[in-house]
Amino acid sequence: MQNKNERRREQILRISGVNPLKCMRCGKCSATCPSYDEMEYHPHEFVYMVETGDLEPLIHSASIYQCLSCMACVERCPRGVEPGKLIEALRLTVIREKDGNHMTADTIPAVIDDETPQQAIVSALRKYTK
Amino acid sequence: MQEITREALLSRAAELFRDGTVDRALGWRAGEFDYDVTPGVFTSAEELENGFVWNDFCGANFSKYLIRETGLTEKKVLVFLKPCDTYSFNQLLTEHRFARDKVYAVGVPCAGMADVKLLRDRFDGVTSVEGAEGGVLVHTLYDGDVTLPQAELLPDRCRNCKSKKHVAYDELLGSDGEVLDSHRFDEVEQLERMTPDERFAFWQNELSRCIRCNACRDVCPACTCEKCVFDNPASGAANKAPSSSFEEQMFHIIRAFHVAGRCTDCGECSRVCPQHIPLHLLNRKFIRDIDRFYGEYQAGAEVGSRAPIVDYTEGDIEPGEAVEGGARHA
Amino acid sequence: MQVTEYKPLIVAFCCNWCSYAGADLAGNNRLSYPADVKIIRVPCSCRVNPMFILRAFQRGADGVILCGCHPGDCHYTTGNYYTRRRMALLFSMLDYLGIERERTRVEWVSAAEGAKFAATMNDFVAQVAALGENKRLEDLRCKK
Amino acid sequence: MQRIGVFVCHCGTNIAGTVDVKAVAAALKNEPGVVFSTDYQYMCSQAGQDMIKEAIAEHHLGGIVICSCSPRMHEATFRKTAAAAGLNPYMVEIANIREQCSWVHKDMAVGTEKAIILGKAAVAKVNLNTPLTPGQSPVTKRALVIGGGIAGIQTALDIAEAGFPVDIVETKPTIGGKMAQLDKTFPTLDCAACILTPKMVDAGQHENIRIFSYSEVTAVKGFVGNFDVTIKRKARYVKEDVCTGCGLCTEKCPQKKVPNEFNLGMDNRRAIYIPFAQAVPKVATIDPDYCMMLKSGKCGVCSKVCTAGAIDYKAKDEYIEEKYGAIVVATGFNPISMEKFDEYAYSQSKDVITSLEFERLTNAAGPTQGKLLRPSDGEHPHTIVFVQCVGSRCEACSEKGKEYCSKICCMYTAKHAMLTRDKYPDTDVYVFYIDVRTPGKNFDEFYRRAVEEYGVHYIKGMVGKVSPEGKKLHVQASDLLAGKQLHIDADLVVLAAAIEPDRSARPLATMLTASMDTNDFFTEAHPKLRPVESPTAGVFLSGACQGPKDIPETVSQAGAAAAKVIGLLCKDHLTGNPCVAHADEMMCNGCSTCERVCPYGAITYVEKEFRMPDRTTKLRRVASVNEAVCQGCGACTVACMSGAMDLRGFMNRQIQAEVDAICK
């Protein structure tokens, strides 16, 4: 179990190319995040929890789908940690493991309403077409 | 076949002599045979007309001769530079070895220069050689007349040409090429993959043939010291003749170390070695290590660049980490 | 036939400001290391010419170690940075020529690291002793 | 071959306990050159030294080897002994048979054998020693201080007080620097002007201090004790010695629309101006970019109103040359540009300001006479957000900011927050921080007061975005401890901008051949033990040019730099270390390789004519080592391919002789 978690963590770090140890815990990622209020875990928590290997809660959290992957956190992070890429890597890991996606590209139009930000639509199409 | 003809070079040279820009020219001169073309100094257009040679055997790099020739005249010295020669030219300028304004450099494209050794290995009794459609026509005493594709006669340095681009010239005849992705480090890597015992045996076999003729040193455009340490009694390393296996190694290690970061990999050392020692493999090892440890660096690519061996960063790799061909940092 | 224990000959170049002082400190604290180590004092590790190292091997040294201030602490600010590059390249070249790389080492020893100096020397002597005599670079004429 | 004497010390039983000293003396007697060899109980004692002196005289010794303790202990002692006996002190070599032999080996046979080898190496070396004489160079007893901020002023005052003339070169029309722009100073809250301006006046009136304001250093030649410096005195179009500083011209000048740099462009000044009331020298300066007389020849008002007749429209830049013994760099810092931080809307809204601008807004001499008003509409702000670490502590490769901590921001932000709450209790003040760093006397107490007594809201988190919305600034931030995203409608946002070295520092470092780090801060000679000296001899560092610093630290460093300068200027002559590099001109290629590795800029190149073996002459470029500057590290000797560069006292042949002796 320990090993599986560790392997998964390494995979996430490898896919994302992120080094969570560079984080100085300033919280600018979460300050920037437009989905903050929707998310259970926030960008800075993703970084910290991946650093400590606390992956289970993240994997089972809806937060990995609520990230719009707008990459504002990546852009603003003063240390170049790139939390957005980390979240994306987590999501990919989950998809690979479960062999299934949260939703498919076909189902996207049904969930779009006038309130949906355009960025979310674009990123959803990008994410769920894989 | 070379892109530019002898006539084109001659007519340009004649113009430069005529308008008084230059009063001497460094060019190739015929030797005993067609294939042993040697460097020469020409002091008039007529001399050039009679003695100048331009063919597939014009391998010699003239950069080094500029140090002497620029000191002998008030005017400029005309020099023909192939792409790889221009790197040596720049490196010498970086080291302030001659004044740039005393030189008129004419860039000449190069399609690769044939290796005399390969020719000799292949045929017995070569009488003459001439350029021919699609390669080289060789007349021999015993093997008849044979036309060879030029590629078959190219030495390693041309097969693995690092650049067809001229990095310095006053005027370029013909077209300029690009810096190439060569495989010049393949042999170095092959050696690195051997065991230490195999490597030792390889170099023992190669270096034990050294007769300390100093041809490598004399031709090397990086070896331009007023007096070489190996000739200087005060250096404590003076040693003019080989008397033990060690001294051959000492000479070649130190020579390679002295040109490290300055060697442009022109390959002249291996070309002139009468014992066919692949000396360029020593220089390329340093170039390869420098690239791997400290980032890509091509000596002579630009004038005034700082060679990695006289530079540092705070996070450089430790000597203990530079193991097994820098595998840990590959 | 008399069998004597093999004693390697080690030449240690120590910079005046850090490592030589570190060696002195090892002495002050009576931290022993084999007598096979002979120290040559140089102002800075960057004074060590590759020729000196080759010369030592030529004359029959079995190992050569260079000690200097830790990078960043050089008395002359930058000397050991150059040492580091030169020796990384030289050692890699010796390795390329098939000379056992365990015979050469660079170690950073500060003036306060007497214990590290002694430990380094103990370790290096053991490492070289395990390789046996240096035959690949020795000049036989220099043999007694 | 020298006539060498060998002296083996017992050091009581320290050496003799594990080394058979008699055997060592006997063995070394047979070494080439050795004519005398003996042993003694304590060589460093008076009796031992006398014995050495007698032996030198009696045996006409040309070199001596002392087998004793470490040269770090007694090399100087035995060199003096040799000198007293008429022998060149550099003909002494020490074989360290105590620390590096008797103390680390237990076995007598082993210790003796090693001691003999070490002795042989020393004999081999001394055989190749040559007498060395340290060079002497005179010291010009005048110091130059580059930069007239608090660092430069303090250094200049301390040097001047010790009795040496000092010149201050300042690029601005007045000295005072950044501190003159500040309002209050932490942690005691005394007003910056109150403590700075008396020092400025002292500097202006001190008989040993000359101030070259509106000037810059354009060339530096020479070396420690003997610098030749060219100073450009920019034309200020006002005769400095005539102007009385009455300020009438600055009131009458019709060109009113010049951004006032002293107030960071938040208000305007005239084309002829005195930066601030307490300026030193208090002299007007004409800004040639805006003066209509200088630009079009039409105006001349200032000239008409000036009763002293100080205006001179025809003034030209002047260059003066002066000699100095020491140079102090005090070029200071600047806040970095906020242009690249789009997320904070600095370029979009006038109400997003830097901390230095905030200082001016709260300063009684500032654009608002000290009333805290929004720059956009002049209204009183009620909600103020301070953002820490803007551009500090960024990733190394970041283009926006700096990798280091700017050090002063935590404290001045606490000061700003506290003063705001003190003066305007109706304001809400938020400080967003990553860490609060307050190491310093009374610093943490000060910060705690801001929180506990003044009710400043310190929030652990960062501001992600500032967006101007109507008259408000919408601040979106994280509160990491509460796990919330905050949305604050602020009236004013203050950015604690990172600080960087002044832009003049880099070209200055090149002129001085002083080294810098990647951030353009000057490097100190030793980070712990020589913090106010540059590795380049005779160049000293004062203030923020060496690294971010607050005022107390700057002043102490300024004093320390002054002490070092005074120590240097007290000497009439500098005695060099004779163990320096030397280039054999006949072998030098002039390739510049050695110059590149020299940390001190001691190597220059000269064109020299040489007679060649074939009787021709040849002009060659050869290296020349300035022996007063060279410290003798030897980096150049290895960089030199031809072996032309060698190090006296540690010559190639000497070291090789030691190697040979050890390996024999």
Domain-ending residue, one of D484, D500, D516: D500
Report the pLDDT averaged over residues D207-229.
94
Domain boundaries, chain B: 6-116+153-172, 186-329
**What is the domain-level CATH number for residue D642?**
3.30.70.3270
CA distance D75 to D564: 26
Q: Give whole-number Cα distances, D442 to B114, D438, D448, in Å.
A: 80, 9, 10
Nearest CB among D597, D605, D620 relative to B310 is that of D597
Asked whether residue D39 is assigned to any structural domain, the reply reads yes
Instruction: Give yes or no for residue B1 having a pLDDT over 70.
Output: no
pLDDT digits (tens, 9 = 90+) for C67-86: 999 998 888 888 999 999 99
CA distance C66 to C45: 7
Asked whether residue C5 is assigned to any structural domain, the reply reads no
Asked whether residue C45 is assigned to any structural domain, the reply reads yes
CA distance C38 to C56: 11
Tell whether C79 lies on the interface with D, counting CB pairs under 8 A.
yes
**What is the domain-level CATH number for residue A96?**
1.10.1060.10
Asked whether residue A111 is assigned to any structural domain, the reply reads no
Q: Which residues in chain D touch residue A70, judged by CB atoms under 8 angstroms apart?
A: none
Higher per-residue confidence, D10 vs D221: D10
Q: What are the φ/ψ torsions at residue D60 (nearest 5 degrees)? A: 50, 50
Asked whether the beta carbons of residue D662 and residue C11 sit closer than 8 angstroms, the reply is yes
| Count of domains for chain D | 3
Question: How much is the pLDDT for C140?
Answer: 55
H helix or E strand, kind and range, residue D486: strand D484-490
CA distance D595 to D599: 9
Which residues are CB-contacts of C7 (< 8 A; sequence separation ≥ 6)?
C34, C36, C129
Asked whether the beta carbons of residue C56 and residue D663 sit closer than 8 angstroms, the reply is yes
Lateral strand order in the sheet of B126-132:
B126-132, B135-140, B145-148
Question: How much is the pLDDT for D510?
Answer: 84
Tell whether C52 lies on the interface with D, counting CB pairs under 8 A.
yes
| Site of tokens 């707008």 | A70
Identify which of C23, C39, C32 has the alpha carbon closest to the alpha carbon of residue C111. C23
H helix or E strand, kind and range, residue D322: strand D318-324
Question: How much is the pLDDT for D160?
Answer: 97
pLDDT digits (tens, 9 = 90+) for D355-403: 999 999 999 999 999 999 999 999 999 999 999 999 999 987 678 899 9
Of the pLDDT bands very low, low, confident and very high (cuts 50, 70, 90), residue B329 is very low
- What ranges make up the beta strands (E) of D132-197? 136-138, 143-146, 166-169, 184-185, 190-191
Domain-ending residue, one of D468, D500, D532: D500
Asked whether the beta carbons of residue B285 and residue C91 sit closer than 8 angstroms, the reply is no
Task: Tell me the DSSP string of chain C.
Answer: ---------EEEEEETTTHHHHHHHHHHTT----TTEEEEEESSGGG--HHHHHHHHHTT-SEEEEEEPPTT--TTSSHHHHHHHHHHHHHHHHHHTT--GGGEEEEE--TT-HHHHHHHHHHHHHHHHHH----SS--GGG--
Task: Provide the 10 A C-beta neighbour count for residue D630.
Answer: 26
Asked whether residue D568 is assigned to any structural domain, the reply reads no
Task: Tell me how close the Cα of D333 comes to any Cα of chain C, in angstroms.
Answer: 24
Asked whether residue A13 is assigned to any structural domain, the reply reads yes
Q: Which residue of B has its CA nearest to D588?
A: B226
Asked whether the beta carbons of residue B227 and residue D591 sit closer than 8 angstroms, the reply is no
Q: Which residues in chain A touch residue D461, judged by CB atoms under 8 angstroms apart?
A: 26-27, 30-31
How far, in whole angstroms, is CA B230 from its chain's centroid?
A: 22
Identify which of D659, A68, D162, C25 has the alpha carbon closest to the alpha carbon of residue B237. D659
- Highest mean pLDDT: which range of B204-218, D400-414, D519-533: D400-414
Helices (H) and strands (E) in chain A, counts: 9, 0
Of the pLDDT bands very low, low, confident and very high (cuts 50, 70, 90), residue B73 is confident
Nearest CB among B224, B236, B311 relative to D653 is that of B236
Q: Is the pTM of this model over 0.80?
A: no
Question: How much is the pLDDT for B247?
Answer: 66
Helices (H) and strands (E) in chain D, counts: 17, 34
Tell whether C9 lies on the interface with D, counting CB pairs under 8 A.
yes
Instruction: Report chain A's mean pLDDT, rounded to a whole number.
Output: 86
Question: How much is the pLDDT for C1?
Answer: 45
Instruction: Give yes or no for residue D526 having a pLDDT over 90.
Output: no
Token readout for C26 is 């090892």
Task: Tell me how close the Cα of C143 comes to any Cα of chain B, in angstroms.
Answer: 12
Asked whether residue D251 is assigned to any structural domain, the reply reads no
Domain of D464 in residue numbering reads as 333-500
Tell whether D106 lies on the interface with C, counting CB pairs under 8 A.
yes
Domain of A49 in residue numbering reads as 2-101
Which of D458, D462, D466 should we substitute to test contact with A (largest number of A Cβ atoms within 10 Å)?
Answer: D462
Report the pLDDT averaged over residues C123-138.
88
Question: How much is the pLDDT for C123?
Answer: 95
Higher per-residue confidence, D540 vs C141: D540
CA distance C20 to C25: 9
CB burial of C94-122 (b: ≥16 within 10 Å; e: otherwise) equals: bbbbbbbbebbbbbbbbbebbebbbbbbe
Of the pLDDT bands very low, low, confident and very high (cuts 50, 70, 90), residue D115 is very high
pLDDT digits (tens, 9 = 90+) for B189-225: 999 999 888 999 999 888 888 888 899 999 999 999 9
Tell whether D463 lies on the interface with A, counting CB pairs under 8 A.
yes
| Site of tokens 């190496």 | D121
CA distance D143 to D165: 6
Report the pLDDT averaged over residues B146-163.
88
- Running DSSP on this structure, what letter comes out for residue D343? G
Instruction: Give yes or no for residue A110 having a pLDDT over 80.
Output: no
Question: How much is the pLDDT for D577?
Answer: 87
8 A C-beta contact, residue D82 and residue D92: yes
Token readout for D645 is 């560069």
- Those of residues 89-108 in C touching chain D at CB distance below 8 A are none
Domain-ending residue, one of D500, D515, D548: D500
Asked whether the beta carbons of residue D462 and residue A31 sit closer than 8 angstroms, the reply is yes
Omega before residue B278 within 30° of 0, cis: no
Tell whether B73 lies on the interface with D, counting CB pairs under 8 A.
no
Report the pLDDT averaged over residues D413-424.
96
Q: Which amino acid is residue D187, in one-letter code?
A: P
| Count of domains for chain A | 1
D496 with D348, same domain? yes
Q: Give whole-number Cα distances, D256 to D273, D302, D306, in Å.
A: 10, 13, 18
How far, in whole angstroms, is CA B316 from its chain's centroid?
A: 30
Asked whether residue C2 is assigned to any structural domain, the reply reads no
Q: Which residues in chain B touch residue C85, judged by CB atoms under 8 angstroms apart?
A: 293-294, 308-309, 311-312, 316
Tell whether C141 lies on the interface with B, counting CB pairs under 8 A.
yes
Question: How much is the pLDDT for B323?
Answer: 64
Question: How much is the pLDDT for B241?
Answer: 66
CA distance B307 to B290: 9
Question: How much is the pLDDT for B115?
Answer: 87
Instruction: Report chain B's mean pLDDT, rounded to a whole number.
Output: 88
Instruction: Give yes or no for residue B326 having a pLDDT over 60.
Output: no
Higher per-residue confidence, B208 vs B330: B208
Token readout for D410 is 């935590």
Report the pLDDT averaged over residues D322-335.
97
Report the pLDDT averaged over residues D260-280.
95
Instruction: Give yes or no for residue B327 having a pLDDT over 60.
Output: no
Question: How much is the pLDDT for B330?
Answer: 33
Identify which of D160, D206, D181, D527 has the alpha carbon closest to the alpha carbon of residue D328. D160
Domain of C68 in residue numbering reads as 10-139
Report the pLDDT averaged over residues B151-179.
90
Asked whether residue A129 is assigned to any structural domain, the reply reads no
Task: Tell me how close the Cα of B258 comes to any Cα of chain D, in angstroms.
Answer: 6
Residue A71 exposed, middle or buried by CB count within 10 Å (0-12, 13-18, 19+): middle
Task: Give percent of chain D with pLDDT exceeding 90.
Answer: 89
**What is the domain-level CATH number for residue D78?**
3.40.50
Identify which of B226, B25, B233 has the alpha carbon closest to the alpha carbon of residue D591. B226
| Count of domains for chain C | 1
Instruction: Give yes or no for residue D582 having a pLDDT over 80.
Output: yes
Task: Tell me the DSSP string of D252-291.
Answer: H-S---EE-GGGTTSSEE-SEE-SSTT-SS---EE-TTT-
Q: Which residues in chain B touch residue C54, judged by CB atoms under 8 angstroms apart?
A: 249-250, 253-254
**What is the domain-level CATH number for residue C98?**
3.40.50
| Site of tokens 């001294």 | B247
Kindly provide the ipTM of the predicted complex, given to two decimals.
0.78
Question: How much is the pLDDT for C144?
Answer: 45
Q: Out of B226-235, D190-199, D539-548, pick the least confident.
A: B226-235
D594 with D473, same domain? no
Instruction: Report chain D's mean pLDDT, rounded to a whole number.
Output: 94
H helix or E strand, kind and range, residue D328: strand D326-329
pLDDT digits (tens, 9 = 90+) for C1-17: 455 678 899 999 999 98
Asked whether residue D245 is assigned to any structural domain, the reply reads no
